[in-house]
Amino acid sequence: MSNSVSNSQAGYYFLQVPGPTVVPDEVVAAMSQPMMDHRGPVFAKLAAEAAQNLKPIFKTKQPVMVIPASGTGAWHASIANCLSKGDKVLIPEVGMFSTLWGKVSRELDLEVIEIAGDWRSGIDAQKVEDALRADTAGEIKAVFATHNETSTGVTSDIAAVRAALNAANHDALLFVDTVSSLVAMDYDHDGWGVDIAICGSQKGLMLPPGLAFAAVSEKALEAKKTSDLNPGYFEFDPLISATETGLYPYTPPVSLIYGLKKATEMILDEGLDAIYARHAKLGEATRACVNVWGLETQCQVEGQHSNAVTAVRVPEGINADEMRAFIFDKYNLSLAAGLGKIAGEVFRIGHLGYQNPLTLMGALSGVEMGMEAFGIKFKKGGVNAAMDILSK
């Protein structure tokens, strides 16, 4: 697991960033198997089974493609396969990742209509509905919704976004970024009527970075027929057949696919509801701790706090990055940086993937001890509040 030493201290390394996350020993062992022929029958069977395991995880009966790329590659792939040059897309701004999704869209010649946000709350479904109602000519071809905004620790209600599309009687496709939500919180692809969901391997799926995923609806595949962008390497057709045959159009990352098979089996064995509940408890304990410290979370809306990551605002005059560097040196604990316009103002505690109450307690203790040693003014005892919740 992550018992190796990251800054030459003995003992457990606390990797508490919201991806890449800790990779379980069983997955590391699976990935350490010898190479095999990626066009042979043994690999084909294993790869097809791994892809089929993703369907219940996304809660879909449609294919879930495995794409050799990071999450950004899945943004690119889904746009390049299903949209066309000059298409308008509606993107509610919720933080750094929704903003980057807009950047990738512009690079691929889409026209982005952004619904401005404050980076402290989730998607306002009413504003989505209003924008779609105003689009009487039907020029908006897709809505891009980030389920869990990793930069701010804010989640959005995807069912409400779907309801907004329905209420406006608008035909746009619904794209959802599940990069840091999948497995950590309920995601229901078919139930919520999502057309394309994209994800990456390095977060809730407990794998190293390097694989991306795309779950597609029939409507998205219909839209693919008229797309005039060139997906090139990311062409969906052979990747969709690979979900059945296990045979890729190019050399796949064989070791990661060994790992994918193992990680998806572990997830299905633990059970999605049990995993969502585990994350909910870790999230609740983290927030109780931050609350006692007297610090603010970046998320300001009750009910929208992420169970995957908590972004904590540091007091005025403190540089969060200097504090994180100090804590890393002192305690071998990695916390994540604030991104974009909140860089230096927040640090983020990842609590997703292969985490349990004691790993979280270790991390929160490291933050509490580190803040004191760094000279931050706060109220001690947050870890006790977390413990109270975790021991219930």
* Binding positions for ligand PLP, rule: CB under 6 A: 19, 70-72, 97, 146, 150, 177, 179-180, 200, 209
Residue 140 bridge partners (DSSP): 88
H or E element in which residue 174 lies: strand 173-177
By beta-carbon proximity to ligand PLP, the closer residue of 18 and 366 is 18
**CB of 304 vs ligand PLP, minimal distance in Å:** 15
Residue 54 bridge partners (DSSP): none
Residue 174 bridge partners (DSSP): 143
By beta-carbon proximity to ligand PLP, the closer residue of 76 and 170 is 76
**CB of 255 vs ligand PLP, minimal distance in Å:** 18
Positive or negative: CA dihedral 153, 305, 201, 17 = positive
Other Cβ atoms within 10 Å of 269 Cβ, number: 8
Task: Region of 109 please: left (phi>0), alpha (psi -120 to 50) or beta.
Answer: left
| Pairing assessment for the beta strands 88-92 and 111-115 based on DSSP bridges | parallel
Give which of 82, 168, 175 is closest to 127, Cα–Cα: 168
| Pairing assessment for the beta strands 333-334 and 14-15 based on DSSP bridges | parallel
**CB of 392 vs ligand PLP, minimal distance in Å:** 30
Closest residue to ligand PLP using C-beta atoms = 71
**CB of 148 vs ligand PLP, minimal distance in Å:** 6
**CB of 133 vs ligand PLP, minimal distance in Å:** 27
CB 350 within 8 A of CB 21: yes
By beta-carbon proximity to ligand PLP, the closer residue of 129 and 177 is 177
By beta-carbon proximity to ligand PLP, the closer residue of 263 and 385 is 263
- Could you tell me where the beta strands, DSSP code E, fall in 93-160? 111-115, 140-146, 148-149, 154-155
**CB of 81 vs ligand PLP, minimal distance in Å:** 17
By beta-carbon proximity to ligand PLP, the closer residue of 146 and 286 is 146
Query: CA geometry: angle at 176 spanning 59 and 74, to 5°?
Result: 95
Rounded distance, CA 288 to CA 122, Å?
21
Rounded distance, CA 211 to CA 20, Å?
12
CB 291 within 8 A of CB 382: yes
By beta-carbon proximity to ligand PLP, the closer residue of 179 and 216 is 179
Task: Look at residue 140 and give its three-state secondary structure.
Answer: strand
**CB of 185 vs ligand PLP, minimal distance in Å:** 12
By beta-carbon proximity to ligand PLP, the closer residue of 31 and 308 is 308
By beta-carbon proximity to ligand PLP, the closer residue of 142 and 179 is 179
Residue 230 identity:
N
CB proximity list for 288: less than 8 A, separation 6 or greater? 382, 385, 386, 388, 389
Tokens of 91: 């993107």
By beta-carbon proximity to ligand PLP, the closer residue of 150 and 217 is 150
Query: CA geometry: angle at 322 spanning 318 and 325, to 5°?
Result: 145
Tokens of 257: 């696919």
By beta-carbon proximity to ligand PLP, the closer residue of 150 and 286 is 150
**CB of 72 vs ligand PLP, minimal distance in Å:** 3
**CB of 31 vs ligand PLP, minimal distance in Å:** 18
**CB of 315 vs ligand PLP, minimal distance in Å:** 26
